[in-house]
Amino acid sequence: MRATRGRVLVGAVSAIVIATVIARVAPAGAAEASKPETPAERGLRLLRTEPYAPADVLEEHFDRLWEVWPEPLRKQAVEATPEERRTMAFSRYGLIEDPDDPDGPPIGVVEDGQGGWVMNCLACHQGKVAGRVIWGVGNSHFAFQTLVQDVAKIRKVAGDKDAPGASVGSFVPLGLSNGTTNAQVFSIVLTALRDEDLNRREVPKIPRFKNHDLDAPPFWNVKRKKNLYIDGFVPKTHRVIMQFALVPSNDGESFKKREEGFRDILAWIESLEAPEYPWDVDEDLAAQGQKAFNRACADCHGTYGPGGTYPEKRVPIDTVGTDSTRLTGMPAEHRRFYRESWFGEYGQLEVVEEPEGYVAPPLDGVWASAPYFHNGSVPTLWHVLHPGQRPTVWRRTENGYDRQRVGLEITELEAIPPGAKKIEAKRSYFDTSITGKSAAGHDFPEELDEDEKRAVLEYLKTL
């Protein structure tokens, strides 16, 4: 176990990044080690080393979180070694162990050299599939709400009111189910604290909005897009990905000085490639599926292979029929602030204030990006193709993968079991009856017969 080094935490990326990404973006061989860094390499280095916010938790407090766990988990932790406790903590909070630095912080967390840990975008945007870390896939395990609440509890137990640890989770929902987060709350609230030039407002202008959970989309598809977010309301620029570092402790001028670094971070994100399906594929069946896909799906999702195209089509909400909470929950005032502020280059960018629908995403690596839909409500591609058979409530295994249905290995239920009384236990279930978490809509596969659906499912493995 690494010795504690101090008080504050700063976020970056772990060495897994080196294993998976530098292999793609860094020159091979010692003789080439002196070559200048590419923008993507600089972006990776910044994510690994640069603190963008104050510490989220002390390392010593993280390693004591087991003291506030419920039974029987706490008893198991009492009998465990420190190393085993940390593994248990990573599992409880959906944090991804860095295979190249198993004694260090998880991926998406960086040490500040003073004993603190800081999370960054990779806490949500770096995950694993079938137990294997895949760079660029969203973290479908992250139990953000539970982590924040447990950190608040251990600070109280330790009697250390000045220790790092956000209390926001006590009054703002950060995620009603593990693997999804209320990400928009940070964007809306943090920008509401600033004027158009990013100076702090004396009186914040926080618009009314609806809290709702979102699934983190894979990073490898960013390069195919001209606009970002599920509604595509803002053009893709490096400034857009900076917003989550706009914490109160960062003043406007120092924040803007980080701009060049975020150009490099975006370059790194756009260097990522979709992973290949690691198991056998029935090539003949997939070829049949490609024909059905191109007839029924390509108009919105594009075509794949040589000469493939991506239309980036925004589908009206009345047509797609999926959960509309994201669309109606983000206020037009917030989108307008984006356009008129430094983020939107003071009105120069074409920001859409009322998108009226969702953008059909590209499907590269779709086999690895379960769960599906913008709110993470559909556990497998089979369920995407069978709208009438999507589960009302489901619970995933930690590392299982359903090769038959292509997606998460789950247990389907009619309702959350009565035995799951504690709210943190309920978060391990995905309940599609909750506002913002509906699995309805996207009924387009109904025009396919069962043989065509089976073929399309096989084809999707190849993207």
Taking only the tens of pLDDT, the chain with its 463 residues reads 544 333 333 333 333 333 333 333 344 444 455 789 999 999 988 888 888 888 899 999 999 999 999 999 999 999 999 999 999 999 999 999 988 788 889 999 989 889 999 999 899 999 999 999 999 999 999 999 999 999 999 999 988 877 776 556 566 788 999 999 998 888 888 899 999 999 999 888 888 888 889 999 999 999 999 999 999 999 999 999 998 888 888 899 999 999 999 999 999 999 999 999 999 999 999 999 999 999 999 999 999 999 999 999 999 999 999 999 999 988 899 999 999 999 999 999 999 999 999 999 999 999 999 999 999 999 999 999 999 999 999 999 999 999 999 999 999 999 999 988 888 899 999 999 999 999 999 999 999 999 999 999 999 999 9
354 Cβ contact partners less than 8 Å away, ≥ 6 residues apart: 332, 335
78 Cβ contact partners less than 8 Å away, ≥ 6 residues apart: 66
Spatial distance between the Cα atoms of 37 and 429, rounded to a whole number of angstroms = 44
H helical segments located in 237-282: 252-256, 259-269
- pLDDT tens figures, 407-434: 999 999 999 999 888 888 999 999 999 9
- Asked if 275 and 134 touch (Cβ cutoff 8 Å), the reply is yes
Q: Which amino acid is at 228?
A: L
22 Cβ contact partners less than 8 Å away, ≥ 6 residues apart: 41, 44
* CA proximity to 98, closest of 182, 2, 30, 164: 2
Spatial distance between the Cα atoms of 90 and 430, rounded to a whole number of angstroms = 20
Q: Which two tokens stand for residue 170?
A: 């006590």
Spatial distance between the Cα atoms of 129 and 369, rounded to a whole number of angstroms = 8
Spatial distance between the Cα atoms of 181 and 145, rounded to a whole number of angstroms = 8
Spatial distance between the Cα atoms of 81 and 102, rounded to a whole number of angstroms = 15
**Helix, coil or strand: residue 211:** coil
φ, ψ of residue 217 to 5 degrees: the values are -75, 160
- Asked if 210 and 328 touch (Cβ cutoff 8 Å), the reply is yes
Longest dimension (CA), the chain: 64
- Asked if 179 and 166 touch (Cβ cutoff 8 Å), the reply is no
Spatial distance between the Cα atoms of 209 and 390, rounded to a whole number of angstroms = 28
* CA proximity to 417, closest of 425, 408, 409: 425
- pLDDT tens figures, 286-321: 999 999 999 999 999 999 999 999 999 999 999 999
Please give the helix or strand (H or E) that residue 235 lies within, else none.
strand 234-235
- pTM, two decimals, is 0.89
Exposure of 148 by Cβ count < 10 A (0-12 exposed, 13-18 middle, 19+ buried)? buried
Partners of 95 in beta bridges: none
**Helix, coil or strand: residue 33:** coil
